[in-house]
């Protein structure tokens, strides 16, 4: 259906609207409500990532609280009893994501898609925090009832199902509610708030400490937050504005009456430029997640202490979020407004240089002596810079994907991009223990370099949505 509309090059009209009527009703409006919608969406997405990362940063206390281990030594061991359960609490994320993304993409192509997705997200998050917190009223630390851990698994599965609902719809939100000059920034914010949830989740050890009883406190804090966030969504979250903010937004509203979803997916999979973008974005995201999560083993303790490793890990995520926030406004500037490929190449080129510098500053496989002397400050500079520039590519992949695939639904293109990201994350989670630590830096640098070459040679710039808006501006 979408490909036929594209070939015909005609406006996408809602049911019963003629071309003349469309010409008379081309007054596009923006509403202050759009900021509320972005905020309500943002806190639900933030909560999803926060709940996902609940237990891993406090694994020892979690194992003690749910009696997954017998002795303090066993509980403290990274590969001891109970660690598989804690890891599964986390790994439900990418597993359930891949099982639910296609139904979510189908839902995102239907009428009232954004409202349905965000309300379903709030319901699932409420179910998650209830299953985790309420049972703690009936037991003390170390003596859980038989059903407690099973309830946590179900809760984490519910929260994992929220992942595609919030991560595959940022471009849909920005298209439906924001004008062209604000759209990229809105997309960047809607994407990065999810990363911010994980960033805040790293502070859990400061609350829990060595007291497993504080796990109960943490779970009730999450329960309270999600209840407050859900009130925002349940009290007011319209499906779309009374008037669209742009001509492309009008086309989204028209197509949401029920496009042929599978035809759209097949159409996208035939677009080489989009597939290159999706695979590159997924590979970078997957490898980077493994790399940044392994800094405590990558960095030699002769240069960086354990506490400094934790600080650098936090800064890496912080600047990754900062880069994502900066990517949106950069796409709106005159220099890059129709040159997303140029911006991607710049970010990937700088990232390649930084990761290569990092690799030669530390021992590599077959080269035990570093080619350059790395210091704490030089390594910190590289890690911060890598997070900043790779973070900036995150919203670019989404917005560029929409431009290449328009008038196909935004949720479909964004969903396919996130599939690649989660596939990449799963592959490297599985292979992580088989890859020598000394090879991870070269792998990271090589992945970004291949993405740079693939983007330069394999992506053809098209701005079909922007062209459509220019054509139907008057």
DSSP assignment of 9-41 equals: T-----TT--HHHHHHT------THHHHHHHHH
Residue % of the chain over a pLDDT of 90? 37
Give the CA angle between residues 404, 406, 412 to the nearest 5°: 95
Q: What's phi and psi for 32, nearest 5 deg?
A: -55, -25
Q: CA separation (Å) from 259 to 92, 109, 168, 254?
A: 31, 7, 17, 9
Q: Count other C-beta atoms under 10 Å from residue 450's C-beta.
A: 16
Q: Is the pLDDT of residue 220 over 70?
A: yes
More confident site: 465 or 159: 159
Nearby residues of 99 by Cβ (< 8 Å), 6 or more positions away: none
Mean pLDDT value across residues 212-221? 93
pLDDT in tens, 18-29: 333 344 445 778
Instruction: Outline where 361-409 has alpha helix (H).
Output: 376-405
What pLDDT sits at residue 29?
86
Q: How far apart are CA 59 and CA 83, in angstroms?
A: 7
Nearby residues of 421 by Cβ (< 8 Å), 6 or more positions away: 281, 282, 285, 286
More confident site: 313 or 119: 119
Q: How far apart are CA 257 and CA 110, in angstroms?
A: 6
Q: Is the pLDDT of residue 265 over 60?
A: yes
- Identify whether the C-beta of residue 415 lies closer than 8 Å to the C-beta of residue 113: no
3-state secondary structure of 177: helix
What pLDDT sits at residue 3?
42
Mean pLDDT value across residues 368-381? 78
Residue % of the chain over a pLDDT of 70? 89
What pLDDT sits at residue 13?
32
Tokens read off for 17: 């609207």
Q: How far apart are CA 389 and CA 240, in angstroms?
A: 33
- Identify whether the C-beta of residue 290 lies closer than 8 Å to the C-beta of residue 440: yes
pLDDT in tens, 185-196: 999 999 999 989
What pLDDT sits at residue 7?
42
Tell me 303's DSSP state: T
Q: How far apart are CA 114 and CA 172, in angstroms?
A: 7
Angle between helices 113-133 and 148-167 (to 10 degrees): 160
Output the pTM of the full model: 0.85
The model's confidence at residue 306, banded by pLDDT at 50, 70 and 90, is low
Q: Is the pLDDT of residue 260 over 90?
A: no
The model's confidence at residue 361, banded by pLDDT at 50, 70 and 90, is confident
What pLDDT sits at residue 36?
95
- Identify whether the C-beta of residue 154 lies closer than 8 Å to the C-beta of residue 77: no
More confident site: 294 or 227: 227
- Identify whether the C-beta of residue 424 lies closer than 8 Å to the C-beta of residue 273: no
Q: Is the pLDDT of residue 73 over 60?
A: yes
CA quadruple 115, 121, 124, 128: dihedral, nearest 10: -150
pLDDT in tens, 99-126: 999 899 888 888 888 999 999 999 999 9
CA quadruple 228, 190, 119, 203: dihedral, nearest 10: -40
Q: Count other C-beta atoms under 10 Å from residue 23's C-beta.
A: 11
pLDDT in tens, 376-421: 888 889 999 999 999 999 899 989 988 998 888 888 888 888 888 7
Tokens read off for 209: 């400490």
- Identify whether the C-beta of residue 6 lies closer than 8 Å to the C-beta of residue 407: yes
């Amino acid at each position: 259906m979408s490909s036929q509309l594209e070939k015909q090059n005609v406006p996408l009209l809602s049911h019963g609207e003629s071309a003349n009527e469309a010409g008379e009703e081309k007054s596009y409006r923006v509403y202050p409500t759009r900021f509320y919608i972005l905020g309500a969406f943002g806190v639900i997405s933030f909560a999803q990532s926060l709940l996902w990362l609940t237990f891993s940063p406090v694994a020892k206390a979690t194992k003690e609280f749910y009696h997954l281990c017998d002795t303090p030594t066993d509980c403290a061991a990274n590969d001891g009893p109970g660690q598989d359960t804690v890891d599964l609490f986390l790994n439900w994320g990418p597993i359930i994501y891949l099982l639910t993304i296609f139904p979510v993409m189908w839902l995102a192509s239907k009428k009232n898609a954004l409202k349905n997705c965000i309300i379903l997200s709030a319901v699932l998050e409420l179910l998650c925090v209830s299953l985790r917190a309420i049972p703690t009223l009936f037991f003390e630390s170390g003596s859980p009832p038989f059903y407690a851990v099973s309830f946590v698994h179900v809760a984490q599965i519910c929260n994992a199902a929220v992942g595609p609902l919030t991560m595959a719809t940022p471009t849909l939100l920005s298209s439906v509610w924001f004008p062209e000059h604000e759209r990229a920034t809105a997309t960047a914010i809607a994407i990065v708030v999810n990363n911010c949830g994980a960033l805040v989740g790293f502070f859990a050890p400061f609350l829990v400490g060595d007291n497993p009883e504080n796990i109960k406190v943490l779970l009730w804090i999450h329960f309270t937050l999600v209840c407050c966030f859900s009130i925002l969504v349940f009290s007011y979250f319209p499906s779309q504005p009374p008037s669209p903010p742009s001509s492309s937004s009008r086309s989204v509203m028209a197509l949401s009456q029920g496009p042929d979803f599978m035809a759209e997916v097949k159409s996208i999979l035939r677009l080489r430029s989009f597939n290159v973008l999706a695979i590159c974005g997924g590979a970078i995201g997957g490898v980077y997640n493994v790399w940044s999560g392994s800094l405590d083993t990558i960095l030699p303790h002769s240069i960086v202490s354990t506490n400094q490793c934790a600080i650098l890990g936090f800064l890496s995520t912080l600047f990754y979020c900062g880069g994502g926030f900066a990517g949106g406004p950069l796409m709106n500037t005159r220099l890059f407004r129709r040159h997303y490929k140029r911006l991607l190449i710049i970010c990937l080129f700088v990232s390649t240089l930084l990761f290569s510098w990092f690799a030669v500053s530390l021992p590599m496989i077959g080269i035990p002596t570093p080619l350059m002397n790395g210091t704490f400050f030089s390594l910190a500079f590289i890690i911060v810079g890598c997070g900043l520039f790779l973070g900036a590519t995150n919203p670019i992949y989404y917005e560029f994907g929409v431009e290449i695939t328009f008038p196909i639904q935004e949720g479909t293109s964004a969903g396919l991009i996130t599939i690649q990201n989660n596939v990449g994350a799963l592959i490297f989670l599985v292979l992580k223990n088989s890859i020598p630590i000394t090879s991870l830096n070269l792998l990271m640098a090589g992945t970004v370099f291949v993405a740079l070459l693939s983007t330069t040679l394999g992506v053809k710039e098209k701005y079909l949505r922007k062209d459509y808006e220019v054509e139907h501006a008057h």
